[in-house]
Amino acid sequence: MAGSVIKSDGDGGGRRARRRGRRTMPMSEINVTPFVDVMLVLLIIFMVAAPLLTVGVPVQLPETAANALPSDDEEPLTVTLTAQGEVLIQASVVARADLIARLQGIAAQRDGDRIYLRADGANAWDDVAQIMGALNAAGFNNIGLVTDIGGPTLDGQDG
């Protein structure tokens, strides 16, 4: 080994000088892994939260063969008659004597005039008819009855 000679440029290793002189290219690729992780977390959050946003009053609606009504742009104004005889506007309980006054106050702030009436199937038709008659007498003529689909079609075939 006495005959081996290592040449040096005087820069203390030769290799570093070459790396220092060369410029590194900027990375032109975007790392999408954090983006995908955030999107998946948001997707899970919305999947869990979406069913919780549809808060309603549990009502066993009668089934009919009627088609669904066309939907409006704003949230529908809903009056519910529960099996226990309570009357609700959206999700808040209202005394029957205050129903029309509250609806008129709400309707004055809305664009649409449609009211959806949800009545539990256990209610007597007389109770439902009284609510509908009171709504009609107060000037609410665009009333839609909310039912479940799949009822009998009365032509010998079940829906």
Query: How far is the C-alpha of 9 from the C-alpha of 44, rounded, in Å?
Result: 60
- Say which DSSP state 112 is in: -
Confidence of residue 139 (pLDDT cuts 50, 70, 90): confident
Give the largest Cα separation in the chain, rounded.
117
Whether 51 is covered by a domain: the verdict is no
Q: How many domains does the chain have?
A: 1
Inside any domain, residue 71:
no
What values do phi and psi take at 16, rounded to 5? -65, -35
CATH number assigned to the domain comprising residue 142: 3.30.420.270
Mean pLDDT of 113-131: 85
Residue 12: band (very low, low, confident or very high) from pLDDT cuts 50, 70, 90? low
Residue 32 lies in a domain: no
- pLDDT, one tens digit per residue, over 22-46 is 677 777 788 889 999 999 999 999 8
**Residue corresponding to tokens 């004055």:** 108
Two tokens, residue 99: 């129903």
**Does residue 152 lie in a domain region?**
no
Give the model confidence (pLDDT) of 144-155 as tens digits.
Answer: 878 777 766 777
Checking if the pLDDT of 81 tops 80, the result is: yes
Q: Which two tokens stand for residue 132?
A: 């509908």
